[in-house]
Structure 1
Amino acid sequence: MTRRILVLAHTGRHDAMAAAQEACTQLHQSGLVPVMRGEELKDIQDEYGVLTAPTETLGVDVGLDQVELGMVLGGDGTILRAAELVRGSEVPLLGVNLGHVGFLAESERADLTETVRRVVDRDYTVEERMTIDVQVWRGDVLAAQTWALNEAAVEKASRERMIEVVMEVDGRPLSSFGCDGVVMATPTGSTAYAFSSGGPVVWPEVEALLMAPISAHALFAKPLVIAPTSVLAVEILTRTDAAGVLWCDGRRTVDLPPGARVEVRRAATPVRLARTQLTPFSERLVKKFSLPTQGWRGPTSHAGGTGQ
């Protein structure tokens, strides 16, 4: 049976093109069939010419339903773009970080050969990450519907004017205030925009939704951790004419005039991420953020039981 691996890369960057060419070559040499999107494959062929590994084109030679796994070469932004492509399919994504923090990535550029080997040997596990459905309402009209893996962020549209909002959970208002915005995030997104907004870090295995105000002018505007069954909402108040904008994963935008309402709920369709290392999340935090752990002695063992 032919095994096909989708290779996704930001080919506007030379290091990403080099990594994609290397990955395709190693996959081909191992008996697997590399697959790329047409425009990205053209960039690789223009760069490497006759040295380009034999590669199929997604949507021309093969469909997503014939792909085993997607290797994503780039930073978190490239992985989020890949998630748009594969969401709704059974294709898991395996990220190789070419960026900075790269929290969604599973391995680093220096480990590319080892990562390809693990893909060839099927030496990986797959976990599902919660996503959110996002609806924008203008009165009784559903103006837009989209989704996010990390977060839906309601932000001020104008740099010089904050927006007036009210936060709501399960149809009940919590607080209204002026602010730069509000982030509604998944556990996966807790280490992204919500993190920089002062929100808590939530382990990926925890099923929860988050709300984190951005630069709020209020006494009570704390980040909240909310049940995954709840419905979150942010309304742009009409007491000023300041408009907002909705950003989903930093990629998809919707304009929010005064009076607009954004509702967020857990989505039925997750994104599947492949893991080659069963590293505890706490260890990933330490590594990605270079956290100091000097002086740690670790748990102690007690002969004859745990003791008191």
Structure 2
Amino acid sequence: MAVNRLGLVVHGGRAEAVQAADVVRAWCARYDVQCTDIDVWHDGGRRSAREEVAAAGDPDLVVTLGGDGTFLRGARLAAENDALVLGVDLGRVGFLTEVSAASVRAALDAVREDRFEPDTRMLLTLRASRRLEMPPDVESLMRYGRGPLLPPPAVRSDCVVDDEWGVPLHVTALNDVVLEKLARDRQVSVGVYVSGRLLASYSADALLVATPTGSTAYSFAAGGPVVSPRAEALVFTPVAPHMTFNRSVVTAPDEPVGLRVLERSGRAAVSIDGQVRGVLEPGDWIGVYAAQRRLRAVRLGPMDFYGRLRDRMNLTDAPAAVADGTPTPFWSVTTPPPGDMAHLSLVTAPDGAAPQA
């Protein structure tokens, strides 16, 4: 792939990220690639994704240097421009990032030489009963511990505003959309709809809709299921609900999830991939659904999602089970599968050897 313009998103608080950024800039200088730092603080505030990518000259590759949070910031920009995103892992969890800092130069070479596969991920978008706003008093409250806030999302000009279907917001979420309470002493009360039909009314700390990619983020912490990033689904999860039914609900990608703040509820904040973007009043609603566009991430080899899940979540084996013997790979990963299994996707280690348990 020809890389002409590269956008760089750096976690400035990590020395190794700053060092890796120098490696990326040197690579760009060698191949005469325009390199621009983007998604940085400006005058105590934040710019929209469109403003940031425009200032960077509309990059065709976005490289993130940090953890999954930094990757999410880069993904927001890449999705805006339909650019590729390459995540360099310098964090503690690393479900989204692809390569280590030591491999960043080799990864850039692989992209330039077309030795990669694009990994497409579902994105979420929104419609709402009205345009989201951030009241000044709430902005001051939510700013604590979060840094400067992103601006409320604009209304999308490419879609029709409809009284029945609401206002289309300019939103792309890779992980999740969350409706959360503002006051510590008062939960948010929300009616939850699936495909336009009422599912249940909840009183909870928060309610969220996640992508398969986001199933290992906030949804997982709230007790939601782990979903393969290759799946096509929306995952609805209540957070600390005051009701017996506290399970997640997994819907099809063409089954939108609606969240309406009930009349006697307190105000609720709308967060998109962890960033507060506006506040809803009682009677307001948002509808979360799969976006038409998808994120394109650089994948240099087969993704062992379940091996990564085991490592990142520290899934140690039960002592009693370990005492009964060490498990070996269930099926061969070094020889081709037989004909009746040829259509299956089995993880293969990069060097052809069996992956380590």
How does the TM-score come out when normalised to structure 1?
A: 0.82
- Counterpart in the other structure of 1:298: 329
Distance 1:107 1:151, change over 3 A: same
Distance 1:3 1:147, change over 3 A: closer
Structure 1 residue 26: deviation in Å?
Answer: 3.2
Q: Aligned letter for 1:269?
A: R
Distance 1:193 1:262, change over 3 A: same
Q: Is 1:26 equivalent to 2:20 in the alignment?
A: no
- Counterpart in the other structure of 1:226: 251
Distance 1:147 1:11, change over 3 A: closer
Q: Secondary structure at the match of 1:178?
A: strand
Q: Aligned letter for 1:63?
A: G
- Counterpart in the other structure of 2:76: 84
- Counterpart in the other structure of 1:255: 279
Q: Is 1:109 equivalent to 2:69 in the alignment?
A: no
Q: Kindly indicate whether the alpha-carbon contact (under 8 Å) linking 2:256 and 2:287 is maintained by their aligned counterparts in 1.
A: yes
Q: Secondary structure at the match of 2:106?
A: helix
Q: Is 1:6 equivalent to 2:30 in the alignment?
A: no
Structure 1 residue 272: deviation in Å?
Answer: 0.8
The 10-residue stretch of structure 1 (253-262 or 2-11) with the greater mean CA deviation from structure 2: 2-11
Q: Secondary structure at the match of 2:310?
A: helix
- Counterpart in the other structure of 2:299: 275
2: CA distance, partners of 1:59 / 1:87: 13
Q: 1 or 2, which has the higher strand percentage?
A: 1
Distance 1:191 1:82, change over 3 A: same
2: CA distance, partners of 1:132 / 1:159: 28
Distance 1:191 1:106, change over 3 A: same
Structure 1 residue 90: deviation in Å?
Answer: 3.5
Q: Aligned letter for 1:194?
A: S
2: CA distance, partners of 1:136 / 1:280: 37
Count of aligned pairs between the two proteins: 284
Distance 1:258 1:126, change over 3 A: same
Q: Kindly indicate whether the alpha-carbon contact (under 8 Å) linking 2:188 and 2:261 is maintained by their aligned counterparts in 1.
A: yes
- Counterpart in the other structure of 1:159: 184
Structure 1 residue 178: deviation in Å?
Answer: 1.1
Structure 1 residue 5: deviation in Å?
Answer: 5.0
2: CA distance, partners of 1:106 / 1:89: 20
Q: Is 1:147 equivalent to 2:148 in the alignment?
A: no
Structure 1 residue 171: deviation in Å?
Answer: 1.2
Q: Secondary structure at the match of 1:131?
A: strand
Distance 1:3 1:296, change over 3 A: same
1: CA distance, partners of 2:189 / 2:203: 4
- Counterpart in the other structure of 1:52: none
Unaligned 5+ segments in structure 1 are 41-56
Q: Kindly indicate whether the alpha-carbon contact (under 8 Å) linking 2:3 and 2:61 is maintained by their aligned counterparts in 1.
A: no
Q: Aligned letter for 2:264?
A: R
Unaligned 5+ segments in structure 2 are 41-51, 132-162, 333-337, 341-357
Distance 1:162 1:4, change over 3 A: same
Q: Secondary structure at the match of 1:130?
A: strand
Structure 1 residue 143: deviation in Å?
Answer: 6.2
- Counterpart in the other structure of 2:352: none
Q: Secondary structure at the match of 2:293?
A: coil
Q: Kindly indicate whether the alpha-carbon contact (under 8 Å) linking 2:124 and 2:172 is maintained by their aligned counterparts in 1.
A: yes
What is the percentage of aligned positions where both structures have the same residue?
33
Structure 1 residue 2: deviation in Å?
Answer: 6.7
The 10-residue stretch of structure 1 (227-236 or 273-282) with the greater mean CA deviation from structure 2: 273-282
How does the TM-score come out when normalised to structure 2?
A: 0.71
Cα deviation code 1:171-216 (max 9, x no counterpart)? 1111112110111011111111111111111101111111000000
Cα deviation code 1:257-283 (max 9, x no counterpart)? 111111111111111111012132212
Distance 1:233 1:38, change over 3 A: closer
Q: Is 1:243 equivalent to 2:267 in the alignment?
A: yes
